[in-house]
Amino acid sequence: MPEHQHHRTAASRPLRLGIAGPVGTGKSTLIATLCAQLADELELAVVTNDIYTDEDARMLRAAGVLPVERIRAVETGACPHTAIRDDVTANLIAVEDLEHAFAPLDVVLVESGGDNLTATFSPALVDAQIFCIDVAGGGDVARKGGPGIERADLLVINKTDLAAHVDVDVARMIEDAASVRSGLPTLALSRADQASVGDLCKWVHHLVAEHRSGARTAVDPGPMAPHVHRHG
């Protein structure tokens, strides 16, 4: 069976960590923050997914947090969720290219194209995934659930620095998330809150250790909500 069909992590290769969530919730920024914070301790590379462009990759290259050649863009076409879920070939090729070109890497971060609130990564592509929502999307989002919110390995409630401006109670949002997540972790994050950034880094380090020890098995959060692919 080819390696990518195993859902059990092979500790001989880097951890593959997906970041999914709706457009604008701060996925690229979260990746830039992780790169800036972890680059001294871990060897990193990034794959971005955009519908028609390589905008996220360009943003991350411009951020100067990683050597530009460690950031690859996959252009997904009309349905970005397909490329992280149903046919992950283009993403796997990009991930494996990076893993060979910059071996030995510790972590490859994969950003989803983020066209849909419920899109999640296939466990054939990533070993673990973060689902990212933000307070600007409204306090109800966490309670509404969906596969990413309920079953991603980490739920990030991002941009907590904006909570007061949009009348959102972050503590309440965390409680709502906890009530649908069966004990899985939730993190309130802001790039302006260094303690929260530290907690995010701690979570990644823990995950890397778990991956290296072979103790980790990728869990599928489940498919996205029913939807129609329009052709033509």
Residue list, annotated binding site for GTP: 21-28
- Selected from 144, 191, 205, 212, the binder of ligand GDP by CB under 6 A is 191
3-state secondary structure the chain: CCHHHCCECCCCCCEEEEEECCCCCCHHHHHHHHHHHHCCCCCEEEEEEECCCCHHHHHHHHHCCCCHHHEEEEECCCCHHHHHHCCCHHHHHHHHHHHHHCCCCCEEEEECCCCCCCCCCCCCCCCEEEEEEEHHHCCCHHHHCCHHHHHCCEEEEECHHHHHHHCCCHHHHHHHHHHHCCCCCEEECCCCCHHHHHHHHHHHHHHHHHHHCCCCECCCCCCCCCCCCCCC
The item of ligand GDP, Mg ion, none sharing an interface with residue 191, based on CB under 5 to 8 Å by kind, is ligand GDP
- Selected from 25, 116, 122, 186, the binder of ligand GDP by CB under 6 A is 25
User: Is residue 24 close enough to count as binding ligand GDP by CB under 6 A?
Assistant: yes
Least distance between ligand GDP and beta carbon 207 (Å): 20
The item of Mg ion, ligand GDP, none sharing an interface with residue 147, based on CB under 5 to 8 Å by kind, is none
Nearer to Mg ion, 49 or 118 (CB): 49
Residues 32-61 that bind Mg ion (CB under 5 A): 56
The item of ligand GDP, Mg ion, none sharing an interface with residue 77, based on CB under 5 to 8 Å by kind, is none
Q: Is there a contact between 99 and 191 (Cβ–Cβ < 8 Å)?
A: no
Nearer to ligand GDP, 150 or 161 (CB): 161
User: Is residue 134 close enough to count as binding Mg ion by CB under 5 A?
Assistant: no
Least distance between Mg ion and beta carbon 45 (Å): 16
> Where do contacts with Mg ion occur on this chain (CB under 5 A)?
27-28, 56
> Where do contacts with ligand GDP occur on this chain (CB under 6 A)?
23-29, 56, 114, 158-159, 161-162, 190-191
